[in-house]
A = this chain, B = another copy of it.
Amino acid sequence: VPVISLLTDFGLSDAYVGIMKGVIFSKAPDAKIVDISHQISPHNLVQAAFLINSAYRYFPKGTVHVVVVDPSVGSDRTIIALKAAGFFFLAPDNGVLTPILEKESIDRSVKVENRRYFLETVSRTFHGRDIFAPVAAHLFSGGDINELGPSIPLNALGHLSLPKPEISRTGELIGIVIDIDRFGNLITNIDEGLIQEFCEKNGPELTVRIGQIRISGLRASYAGVSPGAALAIIGSRGTLEISINRGSAMESFSAVPGAMVKVSAANHRP
């Protein structure tokens, strides 16, 4: 039994999210709606791309994931609907679905343009209400994705160039902080598999560096170090995270998204 998930930069102070839900329930009375987040920084496509990537797998098959971060609303930018990995995705064609396009095999991709599934009046500034909500209700209710509009080839879709980790000339694994959560955990783009490969080549001991800070080894839990101490750990997204046990790595290290993180062999001389 599917749900509709919503990920936007609308915030929760305005009525925008509530209005979208009103429209969804008007069209699909049985809808179940889950908020992934509405606190994406205004127009931040990269943040939204990383967040939908961390979340979509954990929903029931058939879920309609709706991502409305849409700085070009009202222009001639396209809206796309994808079918992939047993889910539907609905978003502006601005690259915000890049992680899905990169990782999943796409069963179907269409241009959303059949006005029959829109609200009768479409505003110039709020397609979340006028297009995304009623189209999501259509897909939730088992409506055919092909009725939404013509097929669009994958190579015509917008992509973000998301930062990827790489190996430096001196053999270090170099990534960046892609997100910082409410606890101040620094979430990197270096995934577990890369770390494993690195250790197979360089031995199991490693050092993680951010700025002037050096952290030895990976821990199995926050409690693996004493309160207030820094640690590196494979976090819930399956990627390297830098944390402080019972504290905030963001505050302690004055870290910001984009900060460089280096993984080196323990005996590495930089």
Q: Is A75 an interface residue (CB 8 A)?
A: yes
B37 pairs with A21, CB closer than 8 A: no
Q: Is A256 an interface residue (CB 8 A)?
A: no
B124 pairs with A221, CB closer than 8 A: yes
Q: Is A195 an interface residue (CB 8 A)?
A: no
| Chain A residues within 8 Å of chain B by Cβ, number | 68
B34 pairs with A22, CB closer than 8 A: yes
B222 pairs with A13, CB closer than 8 A: no
Which of A123-166 touch B at CB < 8 Å? 123-126, 129-130
**Contact among B11, B34, B60, B241 for A18, CB-based, below 8 A:** B34
**Contact among B42, B55, B220, B248 for A15, CB-based, below 8 A:** B55
B13 pairs with A29, CB closer than 8 A: no
Q: Is A63 an interface residue (CB 8 A)?
A: yes
Residues of B within 8 A of A125 (CB): 185, 221-222, 233, 235-236, 241, 243
How many copies of this kind of chain does the complex include? 3
In the docked arrangement, what's the CA distance between A124 and B237, Å?
11
B182 pairs with A222, CB closer than 8 A: no
Q: Is A73 an interface residue (CB 8 A)?
A: yes
- Known contacts A14-B37, A182-B10; A236 and B22 CB within 8 A of each other: no
In the docked arrangement, what's the CA distance between A247 and B142, Å?
38
In the docked arrangement, what's the CA distance between A74 and B236, Å?
11
Which of A44-71 touch B at CB < 8 Å? 51, 54-55, 58-60, 63, 71
Minimum CB–CB distance from A108 to chain B (whole Å) comes to 22
Q: Is A205 an interface residue (CB 8 A)?
A: no
In the docked arrangement, what's the CA distance between A7 and B13, Å?
10
Minimum CB–CB distance from A202 to chain B (whole Å) comes to 23
- Known contacts A73-B221, A181-B14; A63 and B3 CB within 8 A of each other: no
B25 pairs with A55, CB closer than 8 A: no
In the docked arrangement, what's the CA distance between A98 and B179, Å?
34
Q: Is A39 an interface residue (CB 8 A)?
A: yes
In the docked arrangement, what's the CA distance between A132 and B234, Å?
20
Minimum CB–CB distance from A267 to chain B (whole Å) comes to 26
Residues of B within 8 A of A221 (CB): 72-75, 124-125
For this complex, 17 residue pairs linking A to B, each with C-beta atoms less than 8 Å apart, are A3-B22, A11-B181, A13-B181, A14-B181, A15-B51, A15-B55, A18-B37, A19-B54, A19-B55, A21-B34, A25-B60, A43-B246, A75-B221, A75-B223, A125-B233, A129-B236, A130-B236
